[in-house]
């Protein structure tokens, strides 16, 4: 069985166009004429990456959560990728706002959800730390594989605050993020604590599980039920994952 190649830091996929200029040990580009944001966008927008994320199945944890969660308000899919979770939320009966920073993913999710009326689905391009919604809008938010893509600690913290802002009291956040307990060998330390650089110098933020949970607690989101930590064996090496459901304090 073919084992998918995975780019350090982002998940499963084939080698991206953004890395084709790497030489030698693959640690640094020979000529770095683009910004990290450009390289990240080139990766996430590449047809191969979009196709791969569009083909993923919904993970059982989310299927289970949706089956036991009442539909009593709209849902948010932040960093919606190819739209697998957006579609699952729609099928469950939620009206959905799906947001992704990268146009290729936005287009993929729009195409995948085109059968739903505009009153039920809105797909917007933008960053996870600036969600286009009023305070206290969502009964449920899904943030899978996205939070660690923050470029630095400030953006990471702003994303946590933003997720808390848009959830209504009692609303749930299904969080799935890489953490720093296990680091694959392709990662290098960045310029600040918790920041790491992928081989193409695109940054990501990987923090200890306790620190992730403490940040959400400080923002008003407490863990509901068990938190799950495990190691994913990516082709680039092992990577630690935190998966949990957090509940916005209040009614």
- Distance from C-alpha of 12 to C-alpha of 55, rounded to nearest angstrom: 11
Nearer to ligand SAM, 29 or 79 (CB): 79
- Residue 91 or residue 210: which is nearer to ligand SAM going by CB? 91
3-state secondary structure of 91: helix
CA distance 33 to 18: 12
Distance (Å, whole) CA 243 – CA 229: 6
Min CB(28)–ligand SAM separation in Å: 22
The residue whose Cβ lies closest to ligand SAM is 81
Output the smallest distance, CB 24 to ligand SAM, in A: 27
Binding residues vs ligand SAM (CB under 6 A): 10-11, 44, 53, 56, 79-82, 84-85, 100-102, 105, 127-128, 144-146, 149
CB 122, min distance to ligand SAM, A: 15
Q: How far is the CB of 104 from ligand SAM (least distance, A)?
A: 8
Evaluate whether 45 touches 103 at the Cβ level (below 8 Å): yes
Q: Please say which residue, 19 or 119, places its beta carbon nearer to ligand SAM.
A: 19
189/183 Cα distance (integer angstroms):
10
Question: In the sheet where 188-189 sits, what is the strand order?
Answer: 188-189, 195-197, 203-205
- For the CB of residue 30, give the shortest distance to ligand SAM in the complex, in Å: 25
For ligand SAM, give the closer residue by CB, 125 or 249.
125
CB 12 within 8 A of CB 234: yes
**Which CB, 25 or 104, lies closer to ligand SAM?**
104
Residue (210 or 230) nearer to ligand SAM, CB: 230
Whose Cβ is closer to ligand SAM: residue 38's or residue 210's? 38
Q: Shortest gap between Cβ of 210 and ligand SAM (angstroms)? A: 23
| 238: nearest Cα among 57, 3, 37, 9 | 9
Q: How far is the CB of 198 from ligand SAM (least distance, A)?
A: 12
**Going along the chain, which residue ranges are E strands?**
75-78, 96-100, 121-125, 138-144, 167-179, 188-189, 195-197, 203-205, 221-223, 228-234, 237-248
Question: Is the alpha carbon torsion for 49, 52, 55, 56 positive or negative?
Answer: negative
């Amino acid at each position: 069985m073919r084992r998918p190649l995975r780019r350090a830091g982002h998940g499963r996929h084939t080698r991206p166009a953004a890395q084709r200029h790497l030489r030698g040990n693959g640690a640094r580009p020979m000529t770095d004429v683009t910004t990290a944001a450009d390289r990240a966008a080139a990766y996430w927008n590449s047809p191969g990456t979009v196709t791969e994320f569009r083909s993923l199945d919904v993970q059982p944890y989310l299927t289970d959560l949706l089956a036991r969660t009442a539909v009593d308000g709209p849902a948010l899919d932040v960093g919606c990728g190819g739209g697998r979770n957006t579609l699952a939320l729609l099928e469950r009966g939620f009206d959905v706002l799906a947001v992704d920073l990268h146009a290729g993913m936005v287009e993929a999710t729009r195409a995948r959800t085109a059968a739903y009326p505009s009153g039920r689905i809105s797909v917007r391009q933008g960053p996870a730390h600036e969600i286009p919604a009023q305070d206290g809008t969502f009964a449920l938010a899904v943030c899978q594989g996205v939070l660690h893509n923050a470029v630095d600690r400030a953006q990471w913290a702003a994303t946590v605050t933003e997720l808390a802002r848009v959830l209504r009291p009692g609303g749930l956040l299904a969080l799935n993020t890489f953490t720093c307990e296990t680091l694959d060998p392709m990662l290098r330390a960045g310029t600040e604590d918790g920041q790491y650089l992928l081989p193409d110098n695109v940054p990501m933020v990987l923090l200890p599980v306790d620190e992730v949970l403490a940040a959400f607690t400080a923002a008003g989101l407490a863990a509901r039920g068990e938190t799950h930590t495990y190691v994913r064996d990516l082709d680039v090496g092992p990577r630690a994952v935190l998966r949990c459901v957090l509940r916005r304090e209040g009614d």
